[in-house]
């Protein structure tokens, strides 16, 4: 078994160091989303959990909005929520 991280995992870790805010995005219908922004990951996860509690089959994701120094554009990184 190989315990080394892949290049993409290293990049994900690097980008997440520069997270400034978080977005919870919930699919409402085809190509229509409700998005809510948060300054802390804790608040974003709480909102995610409330949505999933109210509707366990909701299609919802939490994204970190990151501003790494190698680019002038923000980078959106999906976050795994358990």
Mind listing the pLDDT tens digit for each residue in 1-30?
456 778 888 889 999 999 999 999 999 989
- Determine contact, residues 70/18, Cβ cutoff 8 Å: no
Report if residue 10 sits inside a domain: no
Structure tokens belonging to residue 62: 């939490």
Does residue 2 fall inside a structural domain?
A: no
Structural domains in the chain (count): 1
Residue 33: its pLDDT value, please?
95
**4 inside domain:** no
Is residue 48 a contact partner of residue 60, using CB atoms and an 8 Å limit?
yes
Q: What is the pLDDT of residue 65?
A: 98
Q: Does some domain include residue 46? A: yes
The secondary structure element, H or E, covering residue 77 is strand 75-79
The dihedral through the CA atoms of 21, 22, 23, 24 has a sign that is: negative
The mean pLDDT value of the chain amounts to 92
What is the domain extent for residue 37? Answer: 18-79
Q: Which is nearest to 15 in space by CA: 72, 63, 77, 80? A: 77
């Amino acid at each position: 078994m190989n315990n080394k991280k892949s290049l993409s995992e290293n990049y994900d870790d690097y980008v997440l160091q520069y997270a400034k805010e978080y977005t919870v995005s919930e699919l409402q219908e085809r190509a229509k989303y409700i998005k809510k922004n948060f300054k802390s990951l804790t608040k974003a996860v709480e909102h995610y959990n409330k949505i999933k509690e109210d509707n366990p089959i909701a299609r919802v994701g939490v994204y970190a909005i990151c501003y790494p120094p190698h680019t002038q554009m923000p980078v959106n990184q999906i976050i795994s929520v358990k």
